[in-house]
Structure 1
Amino acid sequence: MAQFQSQDLPQLLIIHPPAFFTHFQSELSKKFHILHAGESPLPLDQYLTTYAGSVQAMLCYHATQVNEDLLWLLPALKLVLTCTSGVNHIDVVECRRRGIAIATARSVYSEDADIGVGLFLDVQRKISAVDRYVRQGLWTSKGNYPLGS
């Protein structure tokens, strides 16, 4: 199978790379021509005007404010992909007005939050300690589990 030249690949704009990006950069580079705007010595607006006029997708996270000014510099943009669950850093109304799709991580962190809250409750209320106490039958010889702070 012939290798695509970098110019033949769709462009993916990254202004501030997310922390995980280094782990996936080689894979993404096989499918996208990545424009690293944050690594350029040019001011952002000059870089985008010069190199990113035909960019259709951008990857961002909360450090990149996707606002009307930025969108104005990206006339061909069709997709904003954020690796956050929220969109506070994206002007959703302006994206909708321009027909730009937004993809988020949505509930990717919710299981972590559930586990965190569960572990907190377990430690505070000694749920697993009481469970072990009852399962080992210690309540018959030692009485009720000593609850309290």
Structure 2
Amino acid sequence: MTNSTTSASSPAPGTVAQAGPLLPSLERIIQQEYAAVRLPDDAAALDPADAAKVRAVVTSGRVGVPSALMAALPNLEIVTNFGVGYDTTDVAQAAERGIQVTNTPDVLTDCVADTALGLMLDVFRRFGASERFLRDGRWESGGFPLTRRFSRSTVGILGLGRIGQAIARRAAAFDATVLYTTRRPVESVTWEHIPSAVELARRSDVLVVAVPGGAATDGLVDAEVLRALGPDGFLVNIARGSVVDEDALIDALEAGEIAGAGLDVFAHEPHVPPRLIRDDVTLLPHVGSGTRETREDMRDLTLANLRAHLAGQPLPTPVPETAGLAALTH
């Protein structure tokens, strides 16, 4: 359980800062334990004297600590990220300056994989659209159009990390054929590795995007991949909106080049392009990890990383780019 009382050894006020909104219970704890300050949205508005006090920033995957903010914090030692994705934080600058970055892997894997499964079922069976059909009173004029069977389909997974593997296990339970694309084959699995995203899309009934965000994957699912998916193929994205070329996706949907899509993430959240609001697209407001249990586990792991650093102890979950940095003792 979390101890919300401030101990005598707690760092001075201003040592811990918050960037962007956080889970309310996490905000409350870091304010109670560390007198955490809220950083301005614009790094240019940060007072240099206040900036110099900050050793630790608690943030989320949606906000992060981008280049300008990190540069404005001369004594920053750690960014503790509430979320598994950390592409919004300038990790390259962090590694160069010896700043450690942590995230919250594993604890949200199951809920995000469950969300991917729900989106796959919905795009095949169109449960959401059929409910709207019933609610709108259209059933009495005729039955809902036939949909597609998900069981025994071919599921292509772009990225096979923790979440990708959890999605694959769920799909396999539906007797699906699982294929995946990564830079190198994953030795611990028996599913077939496909060398390219284009070939993976060509062989799949549904392409599930489960790669990290960031420059390396920006626009990875482009017009060529979507054309390879074809008019009978579906796209599901539970990763980052940046991984999919959103304009190309809209064009493919409008041209009938793919059968539909299930999206939990978007390029410019919370903005969703009006042209994406279609009956053949299932839209969720980035709720992949949005369960009480998972968010509490994410909070606790975020705090565990923060507390470990401030106590000079090894970090539970440093990100790979900064995992080799020596822990600082204070």
Within a 5 Å distance, the mapping from 1:16-95 to structure 2 comes to: 16-18=20-22, 20=23, 22-38=24-40, 44-95=43-94
- Gaps of at least 5 residues in structure 2 are 126-148, 152-330
Work out the CA distance in 2 between the residues paired with 1:2 and 1:116.
Answer: 38
Work out the CA distance in 1 between the residues paired with 2:19 and 2:91.
Answer: 18
Work out the CA distance in 2 between the residues paired with 1:101 and 1:58.
Answer: 11
Work out the CA distance in 2 between the residues paired with 1:111 and 1:58.
Answer: 27
Q: Is the 8 A contact 2:61 2:84 kept in 1?
A: no
List per-residue Cα deviations over 1:122-145 (Å, max 9, x = no partner).
x8558xxxxxxxxxxxxxxxxxxx
Q: Is the 8 A contact 2:31 2:37 kept in 1?
A: no
Tell me which amino acid in the other structure corresponds to 1:92: V
Work out the CA distance in 2 between the residues paired with 1:8 and 1:84.
Answer: 26
List per-residue Cα deviations over 1:33-61 (Å, max 9, x = no partner).
2111238xxx5423242312121100112
Tell me which amino acid in the other structure corresponds to 2:31: S
Q: Is the 8 A contact 1:37 1:48 kept in 2?
A: no
Work out the CA distance in 2 between the residues paired with 1:71 and 1:117.
Answer: 33
Tell me which amino acid in the other structure corresponds to 2:108: Y
Match of 2:12 among 8, 12, 23: 8
TM-score normalised by L of structure 1:
0.63
Q: CA deviation at 1:66?
A: 2.2
List per-residue Cα deviations over 1:46-103 (Å, max 9, x = no partner).
3242312121100112443523322221111000011121111011111000000001
Within a 5 Å distance, the mapping from 1:98-113 to structure 2 comes to: 98-113=97-112
- Gaps of at least 5 residues in structure 1 are 127-149
Structure with the largest fraction of helix = 1
TM-score normalised by L of structure 2:
0.31
Q: CA deviation at 1:117?
A: 4.6
Q: CA deviation at 1:106?
A: 1.9
Work out the CA distance in 2 between the residues paired with 1:63 and 1:93.
Answer: 18
Tell me which amino acid in the other structure corresponds to 1:83: F
Work out the CA distance in 1 between the residues paired with 2:51 and 2:13.
Answer: 14
| Structure 1 residues 2 and 68: alpha-carbon distance in aligned structure 2, compared to 1, 3 A threshold | closer
Q: Is the 8 A contact 2:67 2:89 kept in 1?
A: no
| Structure 1 residues 117 and 15: alpha-carbon distance in aligned structure 2, compared to 1, 3 A threshold | closer
Q: Is the 8 A contact 2:70 2:90 kept in 1?
A: no
| Structure 1 residues 48 and 109: alpha-carbon distance in aligned structure 2, compared to 1, 3 A threshold | farther
Work out the CA distance in 2 between the residues paired with 1:113 and 1:3.
Answer: 36
Tell me which amino acid in the other structure corresponds to 1:102: V
Work out the CA distance in 2 between the residues paired with 1:37 and 1:61.
Answer: 13
Aligned pairs, number: 122
Q: Secondary structure of 2:76's match?
A: coil
Tell me which amino acid in the other structure corresponds to 2:84: S
Q: Is the 8 A contact 1:10 1:31 kept in 2?
A: no
Q: Is the 8 A contact 1:67 1:90 kept in 2?
A: yes
Larger radius of gyration: 1
Q: Is the 8 A contact 1:14 1:38 kept in 2?
A: no
CA RMSD of aligned residues (A): 3.4
